[in-house]
């Protein structure tokens, strides 16, 4: 990965914000070292006087989830889907998975059960 040059102001701002957050989080554990680092980042006040970093739940939330695909209760495959995906689309995608299609040849699907955010179980008879 190529690191940003001095002319890439956005990348440098992101790096600086990450460094400042790391220094703030380490301050209670290693106060003397982080005080020095805080001054190197051109701050004139003490790191102890700086506010704690804010938590943003939108940034911390998952965008994708892994769904397990079972046939008659036995794990056969996995797939990754967006968190807000429609349950019917998840069921359809599970039945369309290439491993599952091969295993379902000649079998009759009795029921497709979706457990939200966890698994799809395809109940079949041979």
64-125: CATH topology: Ubiquitin-like (UB roll) (3.10.20)
Q: Which residues of the chain have pLDDT under 70?
A: 1-6
Burial (0-12, 13-18, 19+ Cβ within 10 Å), 10: exposed
Q: How do residues 12-43 score in pLDDT, each as one tens digit? A: 898 999 999 999 999 999 999 999 999 999 99
Q: What is the pLDDT of residue 2?
A: 59
Angle between helices 9-26 and 31-40 (to 10 degrees): 160
Distance CA 27, CA 41 (A): 14
Q: What is the pLDDT of residue 106?
A: 87
Q: What is the pLDDT of residue 56?
A: 82
Ranges of each domain in the chain? 9-59, 64-125
């Amino acid at each position: 990965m190529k690191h940003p040059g001095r002319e890439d102001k956005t990348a440098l701002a992101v790096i600086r914000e990450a460094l400042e957050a790391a220094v703030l989080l380490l301050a209670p554990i290693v106060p003397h070292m982080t005080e020095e680092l805080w001054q190197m980042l051109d701050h004139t006040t003490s790191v102890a006087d700086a506010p704690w970093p804010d938590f943003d739940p939108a940034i911390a939330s998952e965008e994708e989830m892994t769904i397990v695909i079972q046939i008659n209760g036995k794990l056969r495959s996995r797939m990754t889907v967006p968190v807000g995906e429609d349950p019917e689309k998840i069921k359809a995608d599970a039945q369309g998975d290439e491993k599952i299609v091969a295993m379902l040849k000649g079998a009759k699907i009795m029921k497709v059960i979706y457990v939200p955010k966890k698994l799809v179980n395809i109940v079949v008879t041979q």
